[in-house]
Chain A
Amino acid sequence: MDMTSPQAAGAAQTDIAVEITGLDKWYGSFHVLKDIGLSVRAGEQVVICGPSGSGKSTLIRCINQLEQHERGRIMVNSREVGPKVRDMHEIRRDVGMVFQHFNLFPHLTVLRNCTLALTRARGMARREAEAVARHYLERVRIPEKADKYPSQLSGGQQQRVAIARALCMNPKVMLFDEPTSALDPEMIKEVLEVMTRLAEDGMTMLCVTHEMGFARKVADRIVFMDGGCIVEEAPPATFFDAPKTDRARLFLSQIL
């Protein structure tokens, strides 16, 4: 499966997909992200975990500027992103995002959900866009739902459509914000399978998730956050079997 052949070409140009340095963010007086530094190579899969309120979602939402940071520097595909960047919408086209609550467009069919940004943001012809969309719906194994509306799908199917929708834009980086947290247990597996295949194809991925089985199997690196800081960063084997910090040990003892 080559979901990501164009990504391989992108990787040749630059090795670093996301580079975050000295990132600070406040919600009012609440210091939600504290001096974050994180670098993600093209083709790397990074899982971000940590207790709720630790700032993990906020961190990945800063990468495509759904949240704006106050201090520090974020480079995405070698372009700086931030509140003052005027062509943010162009940079976002190369950064796919999958949300906890899917956020599919309920008034549009599955197919149109997938083609909307292709035709409107990329200016692709409708027919060509539909071919791309059907290709990715095939990849997430629900080509037969193309003409349904989101409400006619199960949660797991909706999330797979959301993944297909993001992939249609041929992103260089994929952000996953707790993609399985709103799903019934029996639907989590089908979504994780799609994500695992995506990772195997070499997609650059940043995933905020509590699915530690997925993290251990797929991630190149685990980033553990607490209180707005990155507390520990390690390969999965090291992180799960021999965490260095007490905070990570406590977290793992509660979650596993």
Chain B
Amino acid sequence: MSFLAILAGIFEGFGVTATITFYGMLYAVPFALVFGILQHFTAGPARVVVTSIIEFWRSSPVIILLFVFYYSLPSFGITLSGITVGAMALGLNIGGYGSQSVRAALQALDPGQVEAGRALGLRRLQILALIELPQAFKAMTPTFINQFIQLIKGTALVSLITLTDMTFRAKEISQLQYNPVGTYTALLVAYFLVCYPATIFGRWVEKRVSIEGRGQRDL
């Protein structure tokens, strides 16, 4: 089996890798935004609750989350598909990190921005939507792109809950061909081929965002 044939074989798992990444983002982005904003707004006991939820997803090893949700929940009568478990565990783990960049970006803004919005008679949520978030997005973009790439790479773990992603395909091929060196090299190349375009796309997004937000304050 030639290197290219192995690579082609591995890419048969691309669909699953892409699906997990896509659904993972659907968990990660809303979670990051909602919990990052909640952490920015809440105080006292409410904040403890918000922080605990974030920390549960952020501080647990993804592989253990996968096993718990995939292998343990069925004994409590809850059966989730591999795709669901993979997307949720990876997505919310990444979303946990993402929430921290949302919170940090919001907290890094000059408090004068919120004050100016209040002084103009805007409501608090209007200030968030019109003044804080647009500026925070700019600060968040590089981290978000990093985390997107982390998520793509993280999907390799779903091969452990029986999903036929690129990593799972590589394991199959290496067992059939007795060629672990060739196969895992091909797997590395495969992930590079997927992730590098994402990096390039990320740079493009970053550039666009910084053109739009030309207005860095300089006092």
Interface check A104, CB cutoff 8 A: yes
Docked complex Cα distance between A127 and B126 (Å): 20
Interface check A84, CB cutoff 8 A: no
Asked whether A92 lies within 8 Å of B218 as measured between CB atoms, the reply is: no
Complex contacts, A116 vs chain B, CB 8 Å: 120, 122, 130
- Residue pairs across A and B with Cβ atoms less than 8 A apart, 6 shown, are A89-B122, A93-B120, A97-B119, A101-B219, A120-B130, A166-B119
Docked complex Cα distance between A242 and B152 (Å): 75
Complex contacts, A101 vs chain B, CB 8 Å: 110, 112, 219
Asked whether A106 lies within 8 Å of B120 as measured between CB atoms, the reply is: no
Which residues in window 133-176 of A have CB below 8 A to B? 149-152, 155, 165-166, 169
User: Which of A90, A92, A149, A155 sits near B214, CB closer than 8 Å?
Assistant: A149
Asked whether B216 lies within 8 Å of A151 as measured between CB atoms, the reply is: yes
Asked whether B215 lies within 8 Å of A106 as measured between CB atoms, the reply is: yes
Category for how many chain A residues contact B:
20 to 34
Complex contacts, A108 vs chain B, CB 8 Å: 215
Chain A residue with the shortest CB-CB distance to B134: A107
Known: A64-B119, A117-B120, A169-B120. A151 touches B215 (CB 8 A): yes
Complex contacts, A64 vs chain B, CB 8 Å: 118-119
Complex contacts, A102 vs chain B, CB 8 Å: 219
Complex contacts, A237 vs chain B, CB 8 Å: none
Complex contacts, A95 vs chain B, CB 8 Å: 119
Closest 8 CB pairs of A and B: A106-B215, A93-B121, A117-B120, A103-B116, A149-B215, A103-B112, A97-B119, A92-B121
Asked whether B215 lies within 8 Å of A150 as measured between CB atoms, the reply is: yes
Complex contacts, A155 vs chain B, CB 8 Å: 219
Complex contacts, A92 vs chain B, CB 8 Å: 118-121
- Since A101-B110, A105-B116 are in contact, a sample of 15 more A-B pairs with Cβ atoms closer than 8 Å, ordered by chain A residue number, is A66-B115, A90-B121, A91-B121, A103-B115, A104-B217, A107-B212, A107-B215, A117-B120, A120-B122, A121-B120, A121-B123, A152-B214, A155-B219, A165-B120, A182-B219
Chain A residue with the shortest CB-CB distance to B115: A66
Docked complex Cα distance between A116 and B113 (Å): 13
Docked complex Cα distance between A125 and B121 (Å): 17
Interface check B157, CB cutoff 8 A: no
Interface check A240, CB cutoff 8 A: no
Docked complex Cα distance between A97 and B120 (Å): 8
Complex contacts, B130 vs chain A, CB 8 Å: 116, 120
Kindly name the residue among B116, B126, B212, B217 whose own CB sees the greatest number of chain A CB atoms within 10 A. Answer: B116
Interface check B34, CB cutoff 8 A: no
Complex contacts, A99 vs chain B, CB 8 Å: 112, 115-116, 119
Which residues in window 52-90 of A have CB below 8 A to B? 64, 66, 89-90
Complex contacts, A166 vs chain B, CB 8 Å: 119-120
**What are the interface flags for B83-119 relative to A under an 8 Å C-beta threshold, 1 for contact and 0 otherwise?**
0000000000000000000000000001011011111
Docked complex Cα distance between A60 and B198 (Å): 51
**What are the interface flags for B184-219 relative to A under an 8 Å C-beta threshold, 1 for contact and 0 otherwise?**
000000000000000000000000000011111111
Asked whether A89 lies within 8 Å of B121 as measured between CB atoms, the reply is: yes
Determine how close the nearest CB of chain B comes to the CB of A138; give it in whole angstroms.
20
Which residues in window 21-65 of A have CB below 8 A to B? 64
Determine how close the nearest CB of chain A comes to the CB of B112; give it in whole angstroms.
4
Complex contacts, B134 vs chain A, CB 8 Å: 107
Docked complex Cα distance between A99 and B119 (Å): 10
Interface check B161, CB cutoff 8 A: no
Asked whether B121 lies within 8 Å of A151 as measured between CB atoms, the reply is: no
